[in-house]
A and B are shown apart, each in its own frame.
Chain A
Amino acid sequence: MLPKLFFGYFAVVMIALSILIITRKNPVHSVLLMLAMFFHIAAMYLFLNAEFLAAVQIILYAGAILVLFLFVIMMLNLKEEFVRTRYMHKWPLSAVLGASILVMIFFGVSNIAQGPAGTDSIEAIKAETQTKALGKLLFSEYLIPFEIIGIILTVALVGAFVLAKKRD
């Protein structure tokens, strides 16, 4: 009963926060609501026994990506959004489209069959500690994707620098 109550609270708050995020007129309000959303997602990860991901979620999303968003909003100094009268366009059409896609997903989800369980049970992870288990998997089976992610991040860094630097 208690886990279901916990999940219910987090589900309701997360859905309400995401609706608020996409409907606020002021982008700063959206970013601050996004911060609350990310903390709720981190708590959801804790609930799913993914402690490392919860830490990464708070450090990387709440600490780095949201600060980047806030920094850009402050730098651009957007006053124009407040005088815009129509800041959402064609929302009934998009809402109908979203609702139909949601119905489609629910029909697909309603008859999933759970596959065979893997080897990483909670006891096995507890015996090894979660970070170590994740690291072993990341640096053996997923070594090539890990290297590719490193290249992607380097490209993003260089690309952001080239795009935003002052033309002369």
Chain B
Amino acid sequence: MVPLEWYIGLSAVIFVIGMVGFLIRQNIIIMLMSVELMLNSVNISLAAFSHYLQDLRGQILVMFVIAVAAAEAAIGLAILVSLFKNKAAVHTDEVAEMRG
């Protein structure tokens, strides 16, 4: 039997990789994918808790997270498409109008 801590450790490592990816990349597509990575790492730890605590509520929560991730990806990509139409930009450093 694999200990529960291993799953939480794996989940933490993937979460941190997703966070670093969000911080270092300027391409909005990759940044959105880093957010998906972070949501997936949380899903792994929720499923692991659900299995080890013998409670199905963790899996219900994973389904809600997946639904929110789908909504977030759709909205994020729609914003990206409209940004690209208006300014032909997909990098965050090309959009600096708000910086006083």
Residues of A whose CB lies within 8 Å of any CB of B are 3-4, 7, 11, 14-15, 18-19, 21-23, 27, 30-31, 34, 37-38, 41, 44-45, 48-50, 52-53, 56-57, 60-61, 64-65, 68-69, 72-73, 75-76, 78, 80-81, 84, 87-91, 94-95, 97-99, 101-102, 105-106, 109-110, 112, 114-115, 117-122, 125, 133-134, 137-138, 141-142, 145, 149, 152-153, 155-157, 159-161, 163-164
CB < 8 Å neighbour of B16 from A4, A23, A102: A102
Contacts of B66 in A (CB 8 A): 56-57, 60-61
Contacts of A27 in B (CB 8 A): 27, 29-30
Contacts of B13 in A (CB 8 A): 15, 102
With A48-B51, A84-B91 known, 18 other A-B pairs at CB within 8 A are A15-B17, A22-B33, A45-B47, A48-B50, A50-B47, A53-B47, A65-B36, A76-B90, A89-B24, A89-B26, A97-B23, A118-B53, A118-B55, A118-B57, A159-B74, A160-B74, A163-B78, A164-B81
